[in-house]
Structure 1
């Protein structure tokens, strides 16, 4: 049940931000896609920040676990 409340709270926060920016909801496609990109990148910031103490760990994370959720599958079936 907790994820539902977190999702609702996040949606309310985004709605408030949209109101301040003067963006109508649902957002126009370009704004919505940029927002989704921000969500994807934001999800990767916390794990990356945890690994910044050791640069090689941070780079390894970006190459293995960080790039996949953001970039998806590349042509030829290879993962990013």
Structure 2
């Protein structure tokens, strides 16, 4: 596995290079000399996270499965506005 480090500026100037490097291993992206982000291939990400996640899984809140949500019903009535000025 090859580890690559790029500055934010280098990433912005050559995203293709970063994507190619991510196929070989993680790409660390630095801001002001400090690691700030890591770019991974989707395969590596899935390996680390244990597989695919659906959008529903990504948005769910663990531990909240048993809570029911029943919002109150509201009744909307349409009114015709009165634009007459007295």
How high is the TM-score relative to the length of structure 2?
Answer: 0.21
Q: Which has the higher strand share?
A: 2
Report which of the two has the higher share of helix: 1
TM-score normalised to the size of structure 1?
0.22
Higher relative contact order by CA 8 Å / sep ≥ 6: 1 or 2? 2
